Structure 1
C-alpha cells in the first residue's frame, strides 16, 4: 500500500505564528482490544487498514493498528502486559484518546517553543528511523492524560511511522465519505476551561474563535460552557468544555465521572456529502442522537434556503445551522462504547465557520434523553 500523504493548503502562516501546524497527523486511542476496535472502525465507519506494529514486528508490550480514511488517521493501541501505561489507561478510563498528534515541519522547534512557554514535556525530540527514512517526534502534555505529539515526516516514505509495517488484510470495507478531522472537543473539570484556553493561547499560540456560556448551551436541566481555540492557519480547532451549574448532571459531568479525568469527548469528522455518509453509517449499525420531528417544522425559518431536501434531513436526523458565511449540517452519534464517553460528530460545511449554536438546545435535550435512559442525568 502506498503511504498516506497530506496536501498542504496554500494559506501562509502569519509571522507571529511560532507554532505552524500543517494539520492533524493522527489520533491514537488506548483501548482494551486493538484488534477488535480496528475491526469495528473498519466495518462500521469505513476506515481502511494502513499499518501494524506488534509481536510480529518486535514489540513485546503493545499492539497497534493504524486505519485511514482520506486525511483521517486513527491508531488503536492495546497493551500486551498488565501493568503498562497503556493497560492502566484503558482500565481507568475505558477506550479513549491518548494522543492528538500534530503534523509539523519542525518537531524540535515545536517542542522548544512550547516548553519554553510552560508546556510540560511528554518526551524530548527524538529521531526514529527504518529503511523508509526517518521521522522526528516530540511531545507535550495537555489536559488530563492527553498528550500532543509533534510529527515531522518530510524525510519518511513508509506507510506510517518507523517500526510499523504495511497492513494488508483480506477484509476491506468501503469508505463512507469521511474526509478530515474538523475539530476535537475536550471536556475539562469545574473551573478549568479558562486555564486550558490560556494554555493553548500562551503555550501554542492559538486564538479564541468563539465562546459559549451557560445561556447559550443550556436546557431546563443542564448547562455547560465552551470556548473554541484555533491555531494560526485555522486547520486545528479545539473547543474546550467545562460544566456549568444546572438542576441535573450535564453531559460534561457524566463524561468526567466515567472517564475519570479531563479528555477528548468527541472527534468531528467532515464529509462532502452528509446524506450519503449518514445513510452508510446507519446501514452499518451506527446509532445517532435523534431530535423531535418538530425541529424540522421551523428550522428553515431560522436558517433560510438550503440545497438539501428538508424531508431527507428529517429522515436521517441531520441538524442545520447558519452563520454569516454560510450554513452547516451536523449529526452526533451516541457513545460508541459501554462507558458514555467518546462519540463522534459528522459535519458538512457549506461555507459556515461556526459550530451549530442554533442546534444546541435541541441537541442537548436529545443527550438528556439518553442520560435519562442510562440513569445518569
Structure 2
C-alpha cells in the first residue's frame, strides 16, 4: 500500500491560530455509503482513474456489507454498500442517496484523539477499538460532526497490510490509468440556516482548528441567490473544511437545494489537487466527466484581473477552467456537475500555483453556472 508521508510533523504551522492539540497528519480515507459499491467502484476507476486497492465482503467474513477501496496517490476512497435489508447503511442511503459518511483522519494516537475531542464536547461515534491481523494492528475511534457525517481517527503506524485488518488485496484485471490526482485539498460541508458558526465553533473548540477565511453574502451572491462560508483549518494546513450555510436571496440557493435533496447537512464536495489541471481535466472529460461551464466572456478580461500566468489561456478557456489570484500566487480550478442522481455531491479539481485562497474572484461566475444547472432541474 502506498503510505502517507509524515512530513506534516516537520512542517511549520500554516495556520498559527490553530491549537493543533490532536495533531492531524492528513486525510486517511473518505468512506461513501452507496447503493451499489461494485458499480460505483467501476465508475471511480473508469472515469476518475482510481486504482483498485482492497476489498472486504462475504469472502472476508463480512455478512452485512461490502467495501471496495480505491486509491490515487494520497487519495483513498472506501465505497460501502449493504448486503441485506434494514440497518444503518440502508437507512443512510434511503435518506441521503449516495454520499460521504466518514471523513477519516490519520493520527499518531487514535485513543488520545478520541479523549481530546470527547472531553471537549464531541459526541462519541466509536470508542477506541484495536483491530488486528497477521500484518499488525490499526486503532480506530470516531466522533459525530454535522448531519450524519462522522470523523474516524485512524492510527496505523503498527500496520503493514494493504489497507487495514479485515480487508484483502483487490487485484482485478481492469486497471485504467490514473488522471494525475494527488491529494484532497479540502472538503466542503453544507449545513442548515444559521448553523455555520455553530460548526465552525465545533471545529475550533473540539478539534483545535482556526478560521482561515470567511465569505459573506456580499462575496458569494448573484442576482438570485447567496450563501455564507467560513474555512476552518488545522495547524499544518493538511485538513481544510469550508462550512457553507444558506443566505437570503430571491430564489433557492445551491445550499438549500442540497439540503432538500440530501435531507440535511452533509459533504457537498471534495476538492482534489493536481499538478497539471489541463492534463487532468482533459483526461476526465474524455472519460465522460461533465463540468460546469462559464460564458466565453469570462476569459476576455481574466488576465487583466489575475495577471500573468504560466499556462496558455486557450486550453484553459477550451476546458472551462477558472483562474484566481491572491497575495501568494494564483490557482486554477473547475467544478463538475453533480456526480450522483440527486443534485448533491460534486467534485472540484484544483491546481495551486502558490495561492492559499479558494477562488473568491470566481464565485460570481461559478454560482451563476450552478444556477443555470438548477434552473434546468427546476429547483432554482
TM-score, normalised with respect to structure 2: 0.98
Asked if 1:40 corresponds to 2:38, the answer is no
Asked if 1:22 corresponds to 2:25, the answer is yes
Q: CA deviation at 1:232?
A: 1.2
| CA distance, structure 2, for counterparts of residue 305 and residue 250 of structure 1 | 34
Q: Which residue of 1 aligns with 2:54?
A: 51
Asked if 1:88 corresponds to 2:86, the answer is no
Cα deviations across residues 98-154 of structure 1 (Å, max 9, x unaligned)?
000000000000000000000000011010001110011000000000000000000
Asked if 1:133 corresponds to 2:131, the answer is no
Count of residue pairs the alignment pairs up: 375
Q: Which residue of 2 aligns with 1:121?
A: 124
Q: Which residue of 1 aligns with 2:251?
A: 248
Matched position secondary structure for 2:300: helix
Cα deviations across residues 67-111 of structure 1 (Å, max 9, x unaligned)?
000000000000001111111111110000000000000000000
| CA distance, structure 2, for counterparts of residue 62 and residue 17 of structure 1 | 35
Cα deviations across residues 263-297 of structure 1 (Å, max 9, x unaligned)?
00000000000000000000000000000000000
Matched position secondary structure for 2:176: coil
Asked if 1:152 corresponds to 2:155, the answer is yes
Q: Which residue of 1 aligns with 2:351?
A: 348
| CA distance, structure 2, for counterparts of residue 16 and residue 186 of structure 1 | 22
Which segment is superposed worse, 184-193 or 82-91? 82-91
| CA distance, structure 2, for counterparts of residue 126 and residue 29 of structure 1 | 21
Asked if 1:165 corresponds to 2:168, the answer is yes
Asked if 1:217 corresponds to 2:220, the answer is yes
Q: Which residue of 2 aligns with 1:78?
A: 81
Note if contact 2:19-2:209 (Cα within 8 Å) is conserved in structure 1: no
Q: CA deviation at 1:205?
A: 0.3
Q: Which residue of 2 aligns with 1:360?
A: 363
Cα deviations across residues 32-91 of structure 1 (Å, max 9, x unaligned)?
000000000000000000000000001000000000000000000000011111111111
Q: Which residue of 2 aligns with 1:7?
A: 5
Q: Which residue of 1 aligns with 2:292?
A: 289
Q: CA deviation at 1:17?
A: 2.2
Gaps of 5+ in 2: none
CA-atom RMSD, angstroms?
0.9
Q: Which residue of 2 aligns with 1:175?
A: 178
Q: CA deviation at 1:16?
A: 4.2
